Structure 1
Amino acid sequence: MTSEPEIVDADHPFNKPSADLILRTSDNVDFHVHKSILSEASPVFETMLSLPQPRKPVGLARSPSTKFAEQIQELKNGRPVVKIPELKNGRPVVKIPETAASLAMLLQICYPYKDPDMSDLDDTMEVLVAAIKYEMDHPTTVLSQRLQAHATTSPLRVYAFAVHRRLEEEARFAARASLRFGLNTLISQDAPEMFDISGVDYQRLMRYVVRCQTELPLITKDLSWLPKGRPFEQESGTVGWETGREPPWYGCGACRGDFGVSAWWDPYLGWVRQRLAERPSGAVLLGMPALVDQASREMGLKCWECRTVSGLGSLRAFTKYLAMEVDRRTAEIAANTTFC
């Protein structure tokens, strides 16, 4: 004969005497919560808690045969049989399918306490599913942002999860995050969530990546999109353009070739093109200071007049502006792509 599983109370702050409702998880942990907070956080709970609740009968306990006879009579009278809710310490108990770990994270976002630890992707996905189910706007926003943060390291898992749940914005973000990885690295990532989506869904992602790998290197061949002037980094971190001055790749009379550009400029653009053909992401360009270092060495070999503090500063500013343009174009392609 098997014994009933033990039911335990959740830890602080979900064990307060002021609570007026108990949520019992699938692993038998009771969370003592407040109806007012749940109703504010979730229209689903607000609707459920606003329904008339049957009162617990008082007086002598009825025998099982008496209960059965009353239910039969209710059916004959055309009235539904309403199950009397379980009570604990005078509070109604609502059983939910979530685990204690998931519910704790979800409630911590709803209550005015510290944010939960969402460093685990599996936990984030599980709790986001619950937040969407209960139509909790604020937790859904918080968890969606956290999911996007996970996409920078696990884009394939996040993409498959988002597509399976029809979360278009999150799927689009994960697709863009996948550009940080080379195609070989991306397809070798372990992503059990891929079993939940179709081959067509996966093909959409691959087409997006290949298109970006094909189109983005081309922006280094035609620089007509650049503003006129000499780029420089502003104190705010943005890139400004000093009008009336040529950029260093045009401004040096000592090493300027037949096409009007400095001798080190084409090799630099060639390195950038190669990187964009592998990983067309602004974060990749900004995360590779070796690109500017390599251009600096090339400057020194080809023309010391170009290799000045001002010239190197302009080159760094150009690289930053280029990274922004890469992200703008990949976002534009993603916005015109349906992933779900």
Structure 2
Amino acid sequence: MGDSDDTAVEFEDITDGNSSAALYPFDDPAADLVIRTPDGKHFYVHKLVLSLVSPVFAGMFTLPAVENLNTQIVHDGHPCVDVDDDGDALYKFLVWCDPRCSGVLSSLEHGQLALNIADKYGAEGVIKRIGEALLARKDWIIEQPIKLYALAIRHRWEELARLSALESLLIPLEGRRAIPEFQHITGLALQRLYDYHASCALAATKVATQFEWFREVFIHSERSPLMWSSSMTRQSHAEPCIFMPTLLSGRTWRTWWYNYMVDAAERLNRTPRGSILLQAGFLSQYLEQASQCAGCRQLQTKYITETEKFNQILADRVELEVSKIPLIISF
């Protein structure tokens, strides 16, 4: 018989007692491939599934064998390939690939680990579904808006970027610090976020300092902002309550109400959201000041009721004006 042209392939079985199978469903002996991570985790996977999810894996499985390769690694009777990914991160990615799993994010960090692996392997479908899951987590958007803005810009998720930018208004510019996620977005995208904050701050501050909108709000109401003007029933009020060296919108106001509006404007300049005016303790301190004036004290019930209503109107007006400010998205 003549010599065969076929090259003998030597199989190296690396199965040992120290090997660690991954959690369900990546411990399935019916799989046709094992992926091994540097930390000793072995993932039993199906090549067809990974090929459909990732063009990188698809290319890996369809490439012709390297010439003169005479050794193939085998684990537990399955072909085995090594990757340099952390086992925990790889698991968090694979659960978004396998139809036996439901992709659920237990934390934002969980999502970031899965996204990093999905980026590496070009798994666009996984990236899209993780983005949809993040968009549904309003609590994370409120708690970590700047981080989510950066993730949204990186992955071109416009709706999440806009929601995150809006929530970021509650974080003063001077309190912000660089975060690792900024490495993956452009300086222009970050500047757009800062410009948005500045524009919203200007619009919100105008609500508390320029009262042209009063007429629009109160024209059909029995309430009038003039009730806080020191020119009304001036004689019955103590001097500290009526003396105002600074005019606000062309009128002299009661001192406590003026202080309230100045404080509101300062808060809105730093954090331009209406909700900042509804925080516990903000309004009550000025109603307490009003109670120190005999004239205001006579109308204390009315002042409390009407000022609380006005504070809500003011907060709503801030939200309205901020909603008009455009955010320019730069991916």
* TM score, norm. by length of structure 2: 0.64
Separation in 1, partners of 2:299, 2:71: 84
In 2: Cα distance, 1:334 partner to 1:84 partner: 60
Alpha-carbon separation, structure 2, partners of 1:226 and 1:131: 55
2:106 aligned partner: 117
2:265 aligns with 273
Distance in 2 separating the partners of 1:183 and 1:212: 12
CA displacement, residues 203-226 of structure 1 (integer Å, 9 cap, x when unaligned): 323222222222210022235278
CA distance in 2, matches of 1:222, 1:43: 60
The alpha-carbon distance between structure 1 residues 307 and 154, as it changes in their structure 2 partners (threshold 3 A), is same
Distance 1:278 1:103 in 2: 41
- Compared with structure 1, are the counterparts of its residues 222 and 248 closer, same or farther at alpha carbon in structure 2 (3 Å cutoff)? closer
1:10 is matched with which residue?
Answer: 22
Amino acid aligned to 1:215: A
The change in CA–CA distance for 1:219 and 1:126 in structure 2 (over 3 A counts) is same
Q: Distance in 2 between matches of 1:129 and 1:273?
A: 42
Q: Secondary structure at the match of 2:325?
A: helix
* Equivalent residue, structure 1, for 2:197: 209
Q: What is the aligned partner in structure 1 of residue 290 from structure 2? A: 299
Q: Given residue 273 of structure 2, which amino acid in structure 1 is its aligned partner? A: S
Does the alignment pair 1:44 with 2:32?
A: no
Q: For 1:21 and 1:225, locate their aligned partners in 2 and report how far apart those are by CA, in whole Å.
A: 70
Other-structure match for 2:206: 218
Query: Which structure 2 segments of 5+ residues have no match?
Result: 1-13, 235-249
- Residue 30 of structure 1 aligns to a residue whose secondary structure is strand
Q: Distance in 1 between matches of 2:292 and 2:163?
A: 41
Q: Determine the C-alpha separation between the residues in 1 that align with 2:90 and 2:55.
A: 17
Secondary structure, counterpart of 2:169 in structure 1: helix
Q: Distance in 2 between matches of 1:52 and 1:277?
A: 57
Which residue of the other structure, out of 289, 307, 323, is the alignment partner of 2:315? 323
- 1:275–1:297 CA distance, 2 compared to 1 (3 A): same
Write the distance in 2 (CA, Å) between the matches of 1:96 and 1:86: 13
Distance 1:330 1:97, change over 3 A: farther
Note if contact 1:109-1:116 (Cα within 8 Å) is conserved in structure 2.
no
**CA separation in 2, counterparts of 1:86 and 1:255?**
90
Give the Cα separation in 2 of the matches to 1:116 and 1:202.
Answer: 26
Q: Deviation of residue 275 (structure 1)?
A: 0.7
Q: How many pairs were matched up?
A: 291
Q: Per-residue displacement from partner, 1:78-109 (whole Å, max 9, x unpaired)?
A: xxxxx999775566667666432223334556
Distance in 2, matches of 1:17 and 1:195, equals 41
Q: Could you list the runs of 5+ residues in structure 1 that have no partner in the other structure?
A: 55-63, 72-82, 230-242
RMSD of the alignment, in Å?
Answer: 4.8
Please state how far the C-alpha of 1:179 moved relative to its aligned partner: 2.0
Letter in 2 for 1:222: F
Task: Give the alignment of 1:94-113 within 5 angstroms.
Answer: 98-108=85-95
Are the structure 2 counterparts of residues 91 and 30 from structure 1 closer, same or farther at C-alpha, using a change threshold of 3 Å?
same
Change (3 A) 1:177 1:274: same
